[in-house]
Chain A
């Protein structure tokens, strides 16, 4: 294989398209046309500032995130996050996979709430195709989303506790997650990489006894939430470390395109489930917690309350599921949903449909669609562009954590070093989604 030699140069910020300086980087004297770097910087500046590197392998960065922090003693002057250490080429890979084959890929972006990603993607394809899913499918998907919300917030709780020095809630939250994992495994066969939806329906219906197990979970889960509440909400250490730390004002939160609990903690009343309802969320009775100060404490309260509300939605969804016992979970369109195996083996038409779907895949019409859903981390958007073939032209994931993390430098200005860890934890990032 021949070696390609490529000349490359480093990028320099603060230059415009013509190569002229637009922003003078700190400490570099602009002397008419030339920089005066070597030799050295001007003395009044920066020689007492320290540059430290956190990550990419670090227990407190919640994945492979690299933070380069400029410190003046203990105070942070600037934080520069570096991402891309988990870039897996999802969007490129999606262009080489059929729509149903992309669903397992969606599990692996936000791996803390896999079922919610599956639902988000399936809804986007169904919007592209103009499909109406069945009522039982909607209820099952609401259950999937809310269970994902609970497990994602539990991870957030556990890992934030560890970052701030409280180890025990990590064990509590993972114990609760094990109970949800049992439910996920019974339904989909996998604890984490669920792939529970298909275009036009679900992978399978819930097995018998599953609803009883979920009801039992909903009955006992609030006791864990109460324990966490007792431990943290009025805890002097917790309040001292989280109140007035990492605050984002309302205007900044909107300008930085934050979403999810980050946005709501800053006082913006925006929840995709209420403002652009999907899956029948407008018919469920639930509240959306809104914060006031936008600091870490508010984000904690918002997420804790969201878990309570998710539990509430689950109970309502369970009632509906009971009423819809025996209803179909898939649309009855044979071009989209595989026919039952018994029919595929006996009926010629069904066999042909089966063959075409498996070999060629589901083919949406030419067009494009953007579908935003309220993931636990924020608004997960899926933008699909189709050219009529079985593989998308473009699959874009609008990652909530990516956009939320971009506000980290703003939130950390003037904070202490230990606050940076706390603020990073409060953003609730998952690197799989950020780097895709």
Chain B
């Protein structure tokens, strides 16, 4: 799937990576500090496309206010952002754009897929829509809803914070950069097709008459 950047770099430079240190009291205290700092200062990269972007704006406005979770500065430049919030549907034309934005974000980075369309394609099971951004970039938290209520998004952000709390610097797979494979896909082709298959009632939604 993705390339192991960390391994490649380590070989080149031949120094001991942190992962050779086994978890101990020092690393857990360090983890606590680092994770506390990271989770409380997540600067979002609002990749807002459609209706969920309006609910995202409502969440950022004064009634619901994500600034109290540390997301004070909406970073519209990916270079300075921590979490990519894909708010809205993602058509195929926009796919290379989000891939590029994701690639431009430096580690540590996380992503939240906000809404049904970003998570799975939503009600748009057609030629134009990516059936879930997880076929293109790795996703940490999925927030369902069409659009999710601001409370729902805030719950998703809290879940992400809990996830970050559980991270460890001794885990070398964690901050691995997931690049696209030479075939141009982020996931294997069969997996993309499997994730995009309609299921349940939506199997009948492609009848024309």
A and B touch in the complex (CB under 8 A): yes
Contact residue among B61, B147, B149 (Cβ-Cβ distance under 8 Å from A174) = B61
Q: Tell me whether chain A's interface is mostly helix, strand or loop, or mixed.
A: loop
Q: Does B195 contact A (CB under 8 A)?
A: no
Q: Does A389 contact B (CB under 8 A)?
A: yes
Interchain CB contact under 8 A, A86 and B49: yes
Instruction: Give the chain B neighbours of A108 by CB distance below 8 A.
Output: 50-51, 123
* Contact A391/B208 with A87-B128, A88-B124, A88-B129 known, Cβ cut-off 8 Å: yes
Instruction: Give the chain A neighbours of B89 by CB distance below 8 A.
Output: 86, 88
Chain B residues close to A by CB (< 8 Å): 46-51, 53-55, 57-58, 61-63, 74, 76, 88-89, 91, 93-94, 97-98, 101, 123-124, 126-129, 146-147, 149, 193, 205-209
Interchain CB contact under 8 A, B49 and A64: yes
Interchain CB contact under 8 A, B93 and A85: yes
Interchain CB contact under 8 A, B49 and A192: no
* Contact A57/B206 with A89-B129, A193-B146 known, Cβ cut-off 8 Å: no
CA distance A52 to B64 in the complex (A): 36
Contact residue among A57, A84, A93, A175 (Cβ-Cβ distance under 8 Å from B62) = A175
Closest to A105 in B: B123
Instruction: Give the chain B neighbours of A104 by CB distance below 8 A.
Output: 123
Closest to B209 in A: A389
CA distance A174 to B207 in the complex (A): 41
CB distance from B161 to the nearest CB of A (A): 24
Residue with the highest number of chain A CB atoms closer than 10 Å, among B51, B98, B101, B126: B51
Instruction: Give the chain A neighbours of B208 by CB distance below 8 A.
Output: 95-96, 391
* Contact A93/B61 with A85-B97, A432-B51 known, Cβ cut-off 8 Å: no
Instruction: Give the chain B neighbours of A97 by CB distance below 8 A.
Output: 205
- A85-B94, A89-B129, A391-B209 known; 17 new pairs, CB 8 Å cut-off, are A59-B76, A63-B53, A86-B94, A87-B128, A89-B128, A92-B126, A92-B127, A95-B208, A104-B123, A111-B51, A170-B61, A171-B61, A175-B61, A191-B58, A192-B51, A192-B54, A432-B50
CA distance A89 to B41 in the complex (A): 38
Between A and B, how many residue pairs show CB distances below 8 Å? 106
CA distance A176 to B8 in the complex (A): 54
Interface residues contributed by chain A, number (CB under 8 Å): 41
Chain A residues close to B by CB (< 8 Å): 1, 56-59, 63-64, 84-89, 92-93, 95-97, 104-105, 107-108, 111-112, 155, 170-171, 174-175, 177-178, 181, 191-193, 389-391, 431-432, 435
Instruction: Give the chain A neighbours of B54 by CB distance below 8 A.
Output: 111-112, 155, 192
CB distance from B174 to the nearest CB of A (A): 26
CA distance A432 to B48 in the complex (A): 12
CA distance A72 to B28 in the complex (A): 56
CA distance A107 to B147 in the complex (A): 11
Instruction: Give the chain B neighbours of A431 by CB distance below 8 A.
Output: 49-50
* Contact A56/B94 with A86-B49, A192-B54, A431-B50 known, Cβ cut-off 8 Å: yes
CA distance A192 to B149 in the complex (A): 9
7 shortest interchain CB distances as A-B pairs: A174-B61, A111-B51, A89-B126, A89-B128, A59-B76, A85-B94, A178-B63
Closest to A435 in B: B91
CB distance from B121 to the nearest CB of A (A): 10
Interchain CB contact under 8 A, A56 and B51: no
Instruction: Give the chain A neighbours of B50 by CB distance below 8 A.
Output: 63, 86, 88, 108, 111, 431-432
CA distance A170 to B50 in the complex (A): 18
Instruction: Give the chain A neighbours of B205 by CB distance below 8 A.
Output: 96-97
CB distance from B185 to the nearest CB of A (A): 13
CA distance A171 to B60 in the complex (A): 9
